[in-house]
Structure 1
């Protein structure tokens, strides 16, 4: 229950929102060729998914369900999938939409929708809601091995190893018998979260229950390679061969990647030459990237040319590796030539392409050029959270808050939900400029989307509010933080 004083703070903060929200999310026209393209609002008869997303972004939680009801939109399972996917960075908002959609007649959520929502909620550690959804899937008879694999992965990423192991062990209570695929998922979740020693323990304890295959061993090879512990990786490789599992192209790719990351690229090249199957574009992308990281640009280019010569078609990952190699040595003109070659071959750049170039330009102090590249590339590929965060941080650090806010507004018009890091970067930038009102608006929006602000970000806002003797607003924000759903492990 929020106290009277906090309620009064709530009204006070809402007044501030009315005053300052237009500055944060306004859509004034921008000069051509100088800012991100900001289109006008879509017409009312636009696609239903677009309308739902606009409603979800525009209305506070008190009015959301009523506004969705009044829209008259009937949600199909496919539409629900798309909305949840778009709000993957706002798990609580996605969950509220899902709960509203379930009340519609004849609505039956798909397994994909459930999995997307579970992933979204687990990202913000709303584990009680995650297990509620797992239980609901069980009652509806749509629970499967992949559901538990997702939960294990998210627990492992949060370094909740006991909970990940619990998830594996509890599957039988839900009527599912763990199989080799589930076992591999558990090992993979542990290895990718840098817990390969635990993964090896689990493997040694449970190998009698399952018949390990080449994928099982490849997961362990990847884990020891990431550690890095190359002697242990070779031991696992030898054991795999002794047990009659032949290495496949995925196994070789993992080992080449591990050797390259450990700085043993010459040994990686020797392994490629000994392979019994032809190298893939992934293996070449790893070699090119490593040569680039070591600033051996001629070797990177020669590897690219060799790949083309033997008939392996470069994909976007290979081109990204080549772009990264040129960026390392600040040959930006070569980067743009690579982009033109990609265009000629019909290979579209992706957000990774964009981020590599932007990061290199920013590190080189070429901020204006980075912004020009950003404006050009958003016309051919969709930016991701890293792209937006990078640009907003660049402008905040160079005291160009107006530009940072324009990137933020463009992101809103594209209906892209900011990640926790994107929110934090802009809130920190606003605090740096003493913009307490606007920082509080964004902090409240962040909390309403179910994201817990990092301690450092909340601390910056707190410090600013205390400096301005606005303890009532601070108390209100602290109450909102307490109202976030807890994260117990539910049986």
Structure 2
């Protein structure tokens, strides 16, 4: 390397790159050399290296270079010193080129590349590093220019080289346009492969560019056809469509892929399902689900609960029941959450008869409703003219000591008030007071009104209940 690297290169933060500190795989003698490179004044580096009396073995050289990216000037001096007695390996040269590029020292980087050319050590690996570092620095045009001079340095600009540059460009934000521009220029001379399109499609996915993803995928199918081996590309396209709220398009592509025996794996379906949930898109979620299950992929309990949650929140009870019925066949046995989501949906939609039947199924399978669902169901059943089932739910809570029961208890009392069933109302309210169930003032007002409108005797009964209730409140 002919160019001298300025020792006053102060634009690099001191902790930007990893050092040898804390690295377990660094030889003790290499650590000594690392310390010299990191701490010695620029004019003393080579003298201190020489006085260390350490023989710079190739392994030591590589370890020092790997852990000296924060000190490119001193590392360059170490590189020259360690190369006085023996030639550097291609790997050491590539580390030096990468270090210079990472530190945006592009002129010295090219000096190193020219030196490598003279020694016949250049490879595509060297230029992959150059592509990456130019792109990281935001100098995409320089990365493309580097590709254009590969042949001058004895490197064949083949498909692997194209893909390396595409990958470097697409890793940066908002660069898919630049990547496609380069791709359009070279694809006529250098045939792209499936990886080329996968890289571009992943870039479209990162950027959320649905239009470019569809065009790129269409070209991919024409050029390289279909194969299960191209799954990365398919996943990228589908993820772009799903995230872009293009549910119809995603489902269409999935159906075509199924016909080509090229469906993605369970991971994609799980991720896509999560996205549809965030979009509250139950219609496309159930279509996605049916394609997945119909293709032999087996969802787990978590996935079942995710989609059942989405279906029930959108009041799609029929599909929620359908999935519940199929769960056991796939070894995903419903749990409390599964049952309670469906139970809550039935309650919300006022399905009086179905609530009673489903409650019986739940307890038969040893899954109880949550206290909140008990309370909501009791209220709904009273309102829906099935007070007997409402009372059955309350008795089940009491028998099985399900708590808290305060909301459910209040719902029972209000329901009996509305029906004017005073004898039962008296029995229930007194028992609830004895059991320390919190009865609200508004509920007691309704109880009072129900008794007071039935005459003097009923009023006296309520007054007795009221005194007992107030005494219980004071004790609480």
* TM-score (normalizing by structure 1): 0.46
Structure with max Cα Rg: 2
* TM-score (normalizing by structure 2): 0.47
Q: Which has the higher contact order (CA 8 A, sep 6+)?
A: 1
